[in-house]
Amino acid sequence: MLNSKPVNRTFILLIIVVAVMLVLSLVALYTATETYFQGEGKTAVYYLTLSLLGIAISIYMLTASRGKTITVFEDQRLNTILQCEKCNFKSVREFRKGDYIFKRSDGCPKCKEKMVITAIYREVKEEEKEWKV
């Protein structure tokens, strides 16, 4: 049911095109410097423009084709807050499989009573861009 294509011919073609374009751009850049020192300023500008354009397109094609890492499967850090109902001692630790809110879990380090999980949460660090409208 879930087969994936092993060879991506488009990608190989893209690499060849980019490589050819880069070589030509570098040749154009070299010619631009040569012609400039020969006093042919106008021609040098043509070559320079062509060369820069070629390099820019190559870089764009490469970056656009680069697959972005899918981050949604990465582990998220979750905190579990435990509270002792007897002495109100609070502690925070990393989430463990099997934790749930209102579960009696670890012993209180102060009075040895079983502590209750009062919260399980993740903290989102990245600030969302604020739109001033």
Partner 1 sequence: MNPAISQIPIGDNNTLNMILQIAFYLFFVVFLFYGQKIQLYISIRDVEKSLRKLRYMRDKAREIAIQAIKEIGKPKEDITARVDDFLDYVSIAPVDMDPSGIVWKLEHLLNVRESRFKEDVKLMAPEADETQINNLENVLEATMALNFIYKYIRHFYILGRKTLSLYIIMQLQMLLPLIMREAEAYTRALKAFTMGQPIGDGVGALVAAKLMNKYEKREIAKDTVVAEVPINGRIAYVLKAKGPGGNVGKPGEGIKRILEEKKGKISTVIMVDAGLKFEGEKVGEIAEGVGAAIGGPGVEKFKTEEITFKYKVPVQAIIVKEDVGDAISAMRKELIDAADRVIERIKRLINEKTKDGDAVIIAGIGNTIGIAQ
Instruction: Give least dist CB 119 to partner 1, A.
Output: 5
The interface region with partner 1, picked from 15-23, 55-63, 93-101, 106-114 by CB under 8 A, is 93-101
Nearest residue to 117 (alpha-carbon basis) of 78, 84, 87? 84
Q: How far apart are CA 9 and CA 85, in angstroms?
A: 64
- Residue 75 in contact with partner 1, rule: CB under 8 A: yes
Cα 71 → chain centroid: 7
User: Which CB atom, from 38 or from 88, has the smaller least distance to partner 1?
Assistant: 38
- Residue 36 in contact with partner 1, rule: CB under 8 A: no
- Residue 95 in contact with partner 1, rule: CB under 8 A: yes
- Residue 70 in contact with partner 1, rule: CB under 8 A: yes
User: Which CB atom, from 7 or from 133, has the smaller least distance to partner 1?
Assistant: 133
The interface region with partner 1, picked from 24-32, 51-59, 86-94, 107-115 by CB under 8 A, is 24-32
- Residue 73 in contact with partner 1, rule: CB under 8 A: yes
User: 3-state class of 24 per DSSP?
Assistant: helix
Q: Which neighbouring-strand residues pair with 71?
A: none
Q: How far apart are CA 38 and CA 63, in angstroms?
A: 36
- The CB density around residue 32, as the number of other CB atoms within 10 Å, is 21
Q: Which helix (H) or strand (E) holds 73?
A: none
- Residue 122 in contact with partner 1, rule: CB under 8 A: yes
